[in-house]
Amino acid sequence: MKLAQRAGSGPCYCFRKSSRTCFLGSAGSRTPRSSTWRRPNNVQLLKVLHQPVPTSLSLSSSLTRMETTETSLDSPGGEKRTRPDEELGPPVKRPRVQDEEGENGQGASQAVLDFEGNDQEECEEEELVEGEEDVEGDGETFADMMKHGLTELDVGILKFVSDHKGFSGILKERYSDFVVHEINKEGKIVRLDDLSVPVEEDLPAEPVEVQVLTEEQKKQLEELQLFKNKEGNVAIEVLEDTKEKRTVLHKAVKTTYPGLETKTEERDGRKFIVAYHAAGRRALAAPRKHSWPKSRGSFCHFVLYKENKDTMDAINVLSKFLRMRPNVFSYMGTKDKRAITVQEIAVLKISAERLAHLNKCLVNFKLGNFSYKKHPLKLGELQGNHFTVVIRNISGTEEQVDQAMTSLRDTGFINYYGMQRFGTTAVPTYQVGRAILKNNWTEVMDLILKPRPGAEKGYLVRCREEWARSQDPEAALKKLPVKRCVEGQLLRGLSKYGKKNIVTAFGLIPRNNRLMYIHSYQSYVWNAMVSQRIQDFGLKAVPGDLVLSGGKARVLSEQDAENHTIHDVVMPLPGFDVIYPTHHVGQAYRDMLASDGLDIDNMRHKIRDYSLTGAYRRIIIRPQDVSWWVIHYDDPRIPLVHTDVEKLEDKPPPVFQKEGKYRALRMEFSLPPSTYATMAIREVLKMDTSIKNQTQLNTTWLN
């Protein structure tokens, strides 16, 4: 099969900032380039990939976004309905095959949710501060500031596998245009289709009331339960005061009105049962103990449907309402924000009744399909994710669409790490990772804290300026209202341990965030080497390639190569426990790391956390369950996907016309863990997915 090159007529990607949607498509008519493409030799490729890349937006925002299902080619919209973004790369100690990430481009550890000992009030305060200031610049346009950003070329994303012509379209015009359903470890697509609470045989199905509540008391309890008066309470006088009857009344109120807690108070010689909301500030700091039947599994598993919220934010919201720490929740993978996502969650000793009550309190969330089990969920246990993606206002003909989607189904796409792996602009995260691996801690500190050109929150600009001026961590820290960002954590460490103890200070950054840097470097190397492998050998297995056999990698002989396809071939992420191809791409690995000052034969670090074992990753992914339709519509505001919640509410599915003002491509496909839906869409539309390219093409298009 002929490989597609980056030709002048090749499709590109455009970001329409004014409408806050993503415009994907061919920019050949807007930004003409030479159609002649020369294959670079090894030295040229390494020179291109190792050029220092200045960048723009804040490192803290890049870290929070870089590791969260797909995709970060989006922007918020004004949709009232109820999005996923990337993965935490291979753990330092992990199985050889890289298929255990939490998600398609997203598997950050649950430990991140635990606030590293910070309380929830601090978290709430930060959320308020985040919106205080957006971007600060000296009269530059957004496009001017983004000139310092990364492109796909900068992170080794160079090739396509098909030769079809790309076409334009709008991705995530509405966040409901991107729907993700988790595929559990049994291979079943997780769906929300039951909101009922399971009835247990050895538990009473109906609550037992010791006394009849008045209508006024019921109304007050309902309002308190629905969080309308979260700081209030409802006092119920005990008419027949015995311990047994008070106990039954406590249980009755908490069972009938999940989300409420009760306590007994004595007022003027009379006993009262006082009900209050568990999430109110006047509630006890520690959660009240709830009785838990011995015959019931310790974990309540449920399906979480969420709209426009990432998994970590969702867990924090649930934990706040339940007055529990976030680490009592477990899940198999994290999901993007700007999408509708459906996934399985498990929580320790929280009843289905209490969880179901949250459906009355929360917007853009739905919890259901409850069951009790003896085990939590673990990151990476999922088999993948099923995507339903709508690309609106497409320009491609029916023939172009069919050719592109048939290629995706039959051949697949290059399994690149997506742009979000390397941060949303700012200092490229792989540069920080490279400095860590080189044990150059002064450079690590400088890359994170130094001023940089481009768009950035105002308080971060002032913090960096203060650091550059005074080199005083305490003075710079005072400029930060948000102390838990990466810069704040590092400055706090420098203030506590001194600038001569950068390693210890850097350790105050949560472990998973620190590891993201070195995993980003591994991903950068992998992308570059896979581009060279595809460029030099095409889409066939060749002698010297690696394949997995019994969980271990082995080198293909000339005879073996004839019995394998490109879909069997893997490439290593650099580390001390992997082997490399024996053809010249193996030497290219060695040359690339050597040019970065690293020894490929010595990937163990003085600090154990930063030692890289390495892993293997398939170079071509062929999606499963691929299907597609071209939809005609007139109203750009109408939803084009029938969601799980709409089905539960018996809302009719969208009706598609035979003819319409606009056309959309609706595609469905399933991907294994640790793969990026953005890279699949990139192959279909032939686009550059970088923010830099989006804004540059947008400026050209608007002018």
State the virtual CA torsion across 39, 43, 46, 50 in degrees, nearest 10. Answer: -120
**Dihedral angle at the C-alpha atoms of 585, 591, 596, 599, nearest 10 degrees?**
100
- Token couple for 199: 């009835």
225 with 259: CB under 8 angstroms? yes
CA distance 332 to 382: 6
Q: Residues near 212 by Cβ (< 8 Å), separated by ≥ 6?
A: none
Q: Is the pLDDT of residue 50 over 70?
A: no
Going by C-alpha positions, the residue among 245, 174, 168, 156 that lies closest to residue 209 is: 245
Alpha helices by DSSP H, listed for 473-540, are 473-477, 486-497, 502-506, 511-537
Q: What angle do CA 615, 617, 618 make, to 5 degrees?
A: 155
Query: Residues 193-202: pLDDT tens digits?
Result: 999 998 876 5
Q: Which of the four pLDDT bands, split at 50, 70 and 90, describes residue 427?
A: confident
Residue 419 in tokens: 């742009």
pLDDT at 118 over 70: no
Look at residue 84 and tell me whether its pLDDT is greater than 50.
Answer: no
Q: Is the pLDDT of residue 438 over 70?
A: yes
What pLDDT is stored for residue 375 in this prediction? 95
Q: Check residues 24 and 43 and name the one with the higher pLDDT.
A: 24
CA-based nearest residue to 452, from 85, 186, 1, 146: 146
Instruction: Say how far residue 347 (Cα) sits from the centre of its chain.
Output: 20
pLDDT tens, position by position, 617-626: 999 999 999 9
Average pLDDT over residues 389-394: 92
Confidence check: pLDDT of 433 > 80 = yes
Instruction: Evaluate whether 520 touches 89 at the Cβ level (below 8 Å).
Output: yes
Minimal CA–CA distance to 332: which of 307, 301, 355, 363? Answer: 301
Contacts 24+ apart (CB under 8 A), 644-653: 644/191, 644/192, 644/193, 644/305, 644/342, 644/366, 645/82, 645/192, 645/305, 645/366, 647/193, 648/192, 648/193, 648/195, 648/366, 648/368
Q: What is the pLDDT of residue 659?
A: 86
pLDDT of residue 270: 81
Query: What pLDDT does residue 412 have?
Result: 96
pTM given for the model: 0.71
448: phi then psi, degrees, rounded to nearest 5: -80, -35
Tell me, what DSSP letter sits at residue 189? B
Decide: helix, strand or coil at residue 203.
coil
Instruction: Answer yes or no: is pLDDT of 364 > 50.
Output: yes
CB 145 within 8 A of CB 56: yes
* Residues with a known catalytic role: 336
Distance CA(501)–CA(495), nearest Å, equals 10
Question: Has residue 463 got a pLDDT over 90?
Answer: yes
Region 44-70: mean pLDDT is: 39
Residue 8 predicted with pLDDT over 90: no
Flag whether pLDDT at 582 surpasses 70.
Answer: yes
- At residue 172, the pLDDT reads 79
**Looking at residue 72, what is its pLDDT?**
35
Whether 307 contacts 644, CB under 8 Å:
no
Confidence at residue 610, expressed as pLDDT on a 0 to 100 scale? 93
pLDDT at 642: 94
Question: Helix (H, G, I), strand (E, B), or coil: what is residue 21?
Answer: strand
pLDDT for the residue numbered 147: 63
Q: What is the pLDDT of residue 658?
A: 82
In this prediction, residue 145 has a pLDDT band, given cuts at 50, 70 and 90, of: low
Confidence of residue 696 (pLDDT cuts 50, 70, 90): low
pLDDT category at 131 given cuts 50, 70, 90 is very low
What is the rounded average pLDDT of the residues 116-123? 31
pLDDT of residue 279: 61
- What pLDDT was estimated at residue 209? 44
Q: Which residue has the tokens 């220092």?
A: 52
Residue 129 confidence (pLDDT) above 70: no
Give 399's strand partners. Answer: none
Residue with tokens 């048939």: 406
> What band does 428 get if pLDDT is binned at 50, 70 and 90?
confident
Lowest mean per-residue pLDDT among 87-96, 351-360, 408-417:
87-96
- Look at 650 and 129; give whichever has higher pLDDT: 650
Reported as type and span, the H/E element at residue 145 is helix 142-145
The dihedral over CA atoms of 307, 313, 314, 315, expressed in degrees to the nearest 10, equals 160
Mean pLDDT (whole number) for 410-436:
87
- Mean pLDDT is lowest, of 130-144, 246-260, 535-549, 553-567, for 130-144
Return the half-sphere exposure (C-beta side, CA atoms, 13 A cut-off) of residue 118: 21
Q: Over the chain, what is the mean pLDDT? A: 77
Q: Considering only 91-95, 247-251, 468-472, which range has the smallest mean pLDDT? A: 91-95
pLDDT tens sequence across 215-227: 777 887 877 777 6
In this prediction, residues 113-135 reach a mean pLDDT of 32
Confidence of residue 88 (pLDDT cuts 50, 70, 90): very low
Q: Please give the backbone phi and psi of residue 670, each rounded to the nearest 5 degrees, phi first.
A: -115, 140
d(CA 679, CA 664): 19
Strand partners, 618: 570
Residue 230: C-alpha distances to residues 122, 158, 215, 352 (Å): 19, 54, 20, 21
> Residue 21 pLDDT > 80, yes or no?
no
**What is the share, in percent, of the chain residues with pLDDT greater than 90?**
47
343: left (phi over 0), alpha (psi -120 to 50) or beta: beta
Instruction: Find the range with the poorest average confidence among 19-33, 339-353, 593-607.
Output: 19-33
Residue range 525-575, pLDDT digits in tens: 999 999 999 999 999 999 999 999 988 999 999 999 999 999 999 999 999
Which of 67, 61, 193 is CA-nearest to residue 133? 61
Both tokens of residue 509? 């950054």
Model pLDDT, residue 144: 57
Three-state DSSP string of 258-290: CCEEEEEEEECCEEEEEEEECCCCCCCCCCCCC
Average pLDDT over residues 151-168: 91
pLDDT of 511 over the 80 cut? yes
Report, as an integer, the average pLDDT of 143-157: 75
* Residue 12, H or E segment: strand 11-16
- Looking at the DSSP bridge assignments, the partners of residue 390 are 666
Q: How far apart (Å, rounded) are the C-alpha atoms in residues 36 and 368? A: 56
Query: Between the ranges 12-21, 54-63, 472-481, where is the mean pLDDT highest?
Result: 472-481
> Per-residue pLDDT averaged across 660-668, rounded?
93
Residue 701 class from Cβ within 10 Å (0-12 exposed, 13-18 middle, 19+ buried)?
A: middle
Q: Calculate mean pLDDT across residues 420-425.
A: 74
